[in-house]
Amino acid sequence: MRITRVTRVTRVLGTALLALGLAAGPAAADSSPSASPSDDAPTEAGTSFRTATEIEQGQRATATGSTGDYLYWSFAADAGQRPTVRAKVKLPASHARQTWQIDVYDGLRRRQACQYGAQTRTVARGAASVELACVLRTVRAWSEPWANDPLPGTYYIRLTAVGLPVSDLGLPIGAEVRVDSKDIGGAAAVDGSLAQPLTPGIAVTSGKSDDGSDDGDGDGKKSAVLSGIEPDGGWSSGWWSDRWVWTGAGGVLAALAGIGGYALTRGSGRPSRVPPGA
């Protein structure tokens, strides 16, 4: 009898674990980043934060410039993502020893530290190219005002050469940048979220409306508007993560363990012997 109850409890626990695995599977699959690069990849870069070229994650952007220029791009990163920024610079055939650097700033223009990656590299005289990489910290849904944690919103990439000799100033170069993210999921979840993502990026657009008429001043000048980039599917609310799946799974397993323990320890339901005088 006891062996039969043990077998039943084992089957119940096995069925519950299988069901929880099937439920958590789609959540884990959905947490993987999906790159959807567009066909019209940018072929130029901005020269300041205000004119930074907007790119999507998973999109390869190119630009041409000169050594000594500052090249800027911007992208959107949401809570739970760990962005990786990669850049490749094609150098002229003849140049002196050069040092190239890639920096990443958040929507408040605070420089974000790289967890790892070759953020700065020095190449020898005559090298054909140099590759840089910066893996940022995981973007948090909420943080203390005094902290420098990466938060959801616009991020800026700045690529430039530092400590250039005068002889190399103005030499033509070609640049390629790409941003990919790894979705960390519930491991990076926090109890809180921003009211609005940090998107103070500036993109200069024409002051004319779609029908060709002037809006606002009427003088046809260009006006500055908030950046329009955002992750695929919009910004997350900050409260949902796969942590809820595993929390629910833990609660169900605890309940099943209690039921199984009760089934194993309770008696058969009948007294072992008949009391005297019954």
Question: pLDDT > 70: what percent of the chain?
Answer: 64
Neighbour tally for 100: CB within 10 Å: 26
Supply the pLDDT for residue 198.
Answer: 81
pLDDT at 39: 57
Whether 64 has a pLDDT exceeding 70, the answer reads: yes
Give pLDDT, residue 216.
44
The answer to whether the beta carbons of residues 45 and 71 sit under 8 Å apart is yes
Q: Which DSSP helix (H) or strand (E) runs through 202?
A: strand 202-205
- Mean pLDDT (whole number) for 29-36: 41
Ranges of each domain in the chain: 2-26+246-265, 35-239
Over residues 68-120, the pLDDT tens digits come to 999 999 999 988 899 999 999 999 988 999 999 999 999 889 999 999 999 99
- Write out the two tokens for 199: 């998107």
Reading the block at residue 9, the tokens are: 């409890």
pLDDT at 268: 59
pLDDT reported for residue 227: 59
Please give the CATH number for the structural domain made up of 35-239.
Answer: 2.60.120.380
Q: Which residues contact 7 (CB under 8 A, 6 or more apart)?
A: none
Q: Indicate the SS3 state at residue 55.
A: coil
Which position has the token pair 């955002």?
230
- The pLDDT value recorded for residue 34 is 40
Higher pLDDT, 131 or 276: 131
Beta bridge partners of 151: none
Least confident of 20-34, 162-176, 250-264: 20-34
Tell me: pLDDT of 45 over 80: yes
Task: Report pLDDT for 270.
Answer: 57
- Average pLDDT of the residues of the chain: 77
Condensed to tens digits (0 to 9), the pLDDT of residues 189-248 reads 666 677 778 886 444 444 444 454 444 444 544 444 455 677 776 777 545 666 667 678
Strands 172-183 and 81-90 turn out to be: antiparallel
Amino acid at 143: S
> Who wins on pLDDT, 95 or 266?
95
How is residue 83 annotated by DSSP? E
Structure confidence at residue 217 (pLDDT): 47
Between CA 57 and CA 81 the distance in angstroms is 11
pLDDT at 17 over 70: no
What Rg value do the Cα atoms of the chain yield, rounded?
A: 29
Say what the pLDDT of residue 245 is: 74
Asked if 120 and 100 count as a contact pair (C-beta separation under 8 A), the reply is: yes
Helices (H), the chain: 2-30, 243-265
Q: Which of 60-64, 131-135, 159-163, 226-230 has the lowest mean pLDDT?
A: 226-230
So what's the pLDDT on residue 269? 57
Q: Which residues pair with 74 in a beta bridge?
A: 54, 156
Query: Rounded CA gap, 244 and 250, in Å?
Result: 10
Q: Is there a contact between 155 and 107 (Cβ–Cβ < 8 Å)?
A: yes
pLDDT > 60? residue 3: no
Give the model's pLDDT for residue 110: 92
Q: Return the closest-CA partner of residue 85 out of 66, 72, 98, 94.
A: 72
Mean pLDDT of 158-166: 92
